[in-house]
Amino acid sequence: MPRYVKIVIGTARGRCRIVPTESQQAAELPATQVAQWFVLQAQGDPEQDLSNLKLQKLVYLAQSRYLHETGRALLREVVQAWDHGPVVQQVYRQFSAFGSQAIRLAACREPELAPEVVANLECVWTYFGGYTASKLRAITHAVGPWPQHFREGARNIVLPNDEIANSWTEFERYAEPRIVATTDDYKSTLARYSSILRATQRAQMQEDGQGIRRELGETRHMRRSAARAMH
């Protein structure tokens, strides 16, 4: 599966978008496949501690973004309003044995997903993967359809897809993009921007030099004019 390099320069928030391809994935995906993708990303990052709670929020945000960008549902299953926020019941059941501990899969292949689906998941992971479970819980409690639909003690309350889609712009305000790159990608990108910086500095030095020469020329001209006036 290809890696996507996301570099944020001079801005607090990056902008990811889905690039349409010929291999559009028409059918919604099992939510457990999407969850599995996030679990594998976390396992490849020693700083990540992906619990069931955090996983639920990432799957929900991926659904929100995909609905917003494409008008189609990413998930085959519905998202429900539970006590701790939006939950896909099938994902909860699959990983419930881990409790609040980090999810670890002994042997698992990365699911085969269409490029635009991977781009969507990569973007959500880049935006929100660095957050803790409690931070994501707070975000999904504060904005989106969960606060309007949750009823304490009620079960199986479904969050409408249109409201989930419309919430993405609100969720995006909380995004904190990180640089995601392979070592080679990083080196080549750093070299490219270093080259641009050096070229800019050279151009600035040339411009400054021309300005100094103009000032010296004007000074010499004024001195000669003053000398002629005195004689």
Separation of alpha carbons 188 and 147, rounded Å: 45
DSSP-assigned letters across all residues of 165-190 = HHTHHHHHTT-----B--HHHHHHHH
Residues of the chain under the 50 pLDDT cut: 1-14, 17-27, 179-183, 186
Measured CA angle at 63 (ends 57, 69), to 5 deg: 135
Separation of alpha carbons 21 and 5, rounded Å: 18
pLDDT at site 49: 83
Two tokens at 19? 């690039």
Give 86's strand partners. 81
